[in-house]
Amino acid sequence: MAFNPNTTQTVLENIHIQPEILADAFTSRGEIIDPFVAAFTAAPVSRVVFIGSGTSYNVSNLALSLFNRIVKVDATAPYPTEFANYGVGLNPAEADPSSVLCVAISQSGTSISTCDALAVARQKGFRTLVLTCDPDSRAASLADTVVPLLAGDEQTGPETRGYTASVLSVYLWAHATAAATGALTPAEADAAIAEAGDIVDRFQEVIEESEAWYDRNRPGLLHAGRINILGLGIDYGTMLEGTLKVAEMLRVPVIGNLVEEHMHGPTYALRPDHGNLIVGSDEAEFDRIITIRNALREHAPATHVITCHDFEGADERDIVFSVKAGPFLAPLLYTVPFQFLAAKGGKDVHINTNHNPVPIHFGHLEG
């Protein structure tokens, strides 16, 4: 729930416990879905503003895509400070502030920037909701509605199970809300939620295949002079989370970018010892991803695609999950290889991923 510098818990333990955490959360999904749908449908919503920092910002980017594409509502995900100080993510012409729903995501409920943004949202008359593990936190005190983040007590600094529990939560929110508003039929929403249950039931396979992918590609990944992480579409958020995890724990030079934008300049700096990890979303650009993978491999052999989508020419450098998920649910799987690269890679090069080498405490409320 909150970082404990004296914890004996490890990030790898938190990665391995994710099948259990997600199963428990799915079983208790009514606690996640019901208060959110009630808050959303209490009055007309013109815009949903997702707010979060760090890992929660990355979840917010996934959420905005889900709500734009599934619920068919205008959704944004500004950085909390940009929202609070400059109104980023808002429509200046919006006449009715009560039609704006600000959804904060904060595992601990202590993110200073997120709490400040919630306070500003209340001052402006927006409706507020928070997803958090701590119902007694500062963030919870600033929200009209509090939804439990069912991630258990994650005490390590880098978040892993909190991320996947949050991704599952926003996925469930989107489909249940779409059913409530008529954007999906009840049968369509039920099928999507049942798909999540099926994926959760097989999440142990995701864990095992992700760890095996790391183990067989360990030499090239750990000796990379730089790691480039590329994503697109809904997996822009996955790319952001992968970049954050590698920076937090493996602590090597890492760049995150959209797949196509990476072709506009950054490839000038590509070297043979660079690792390239491409999130292979099963969307309109998938064939383009494979073309780019093949081109990058001519210059940097440690180029990998992470996907559920079978494709010709996939080899041991890639991970093609045996568990198949649609594009809206696949982000739940795609972050796990990055978690192993970051946490197990850090351990393999003797980094204590629980230790913060630069203890600057500006991000969270203390005490």
Q: What does the pLDDT average to over 29-47?
A: 98
Same domain, 125 and 266: no
The range of the structural domain enclosing residue 218 comes to 205-348
Same domain, 42 and 141: yes
Residue entry with tokens 């929403």: 189
User: Which of these, 109, 114, 120, lies nearest to 52 by C-alpha position?
Assistant: 114
Same domain, 192 and 47: yes
pLDDT tens-digit series, residues 167-189: 999 999 999 999 999 999 999 99
Residues 6+ apart with CB under 8 A from 363: 53, 54, 111, 112, 113
C-alpha atoms less than 13 angstroms from C-alpha of 139 in its C-beta half-sphere: 32
Beta-bridge partner residues of 75: 48
Q: What does the pLDDT average to over 5-21?
A: 91
Given 201, 225, 251, the domain boundary residue is: 201
Longest dimension (CA), the chain: 57
Same domain, 75 and 123: yes
At 97, give phi and psi (nearest 5°): -60, -25
Given 201, 232, 254, the domain boundary residue is: 201
Residue 256, in any domain of the structure: yes
Same domain, 267 and 195: no
Q: What ranges make up the beta strands (E) of 201-288?
A: 227-231, 254-258, 275-279
Amino acid type, 304: H
pLDDT tens-digit series, residues 192-212: 999 999 999 999 999 999 999
Same domain, 138 and 273: no
The DSSP annotation for 295-334 comes to HHHTT-S-EEEEESS--TT--TTSEE-SS---TTTTHHHH
pLDDT tens-digit series, residues 331-341: 999 999 999 99
pLDDT band, very low/low/confident/very high, at 357 (cuts 50, 70, 90) = confident
Q: In what order do the strands lie in the sheet with 303-307?
A: 254-258, 227-231, 275-279, 303-307, 319-320
Compute the distance between CA of residue 226 and CA of residue 168 in angstroms, rounded to an integer. Answer: 31
Residues 6+ apart with CB under 8 A from 36: 129, 145, 147, 173, 176, 177
**Domain of residue 261, CATH code:** 3.40.50.10490
Same domain, 183 and 214: no
Which pair of structure tokens corresponds to residue 316?
């041991």
pLDDT band, very low/low/confident/very high, at 289 (cuts 50, 70, 90) = very high
DSSP code for 131: E
Q: Would you say residue 6 has pLDDT above 80?
A: no
pTM: 0.96
Residue 168, in any domain of the structure: yes
- The chain-wide mean pLDDT, for the chain, equals 94
Residue 235, in any domain of the structure: yes
Q: Would you say residue 223 has pLDDT above 70?
A: yes
Same domain, 209 and 179: no
Amino acid type, 160: T
Compute the distance between CA of residue 56 and CA of residue 76 in angstroms, rounded to an integer. Answer: 14
Beta strands 127-132; 74-76: pairing state: unpaired
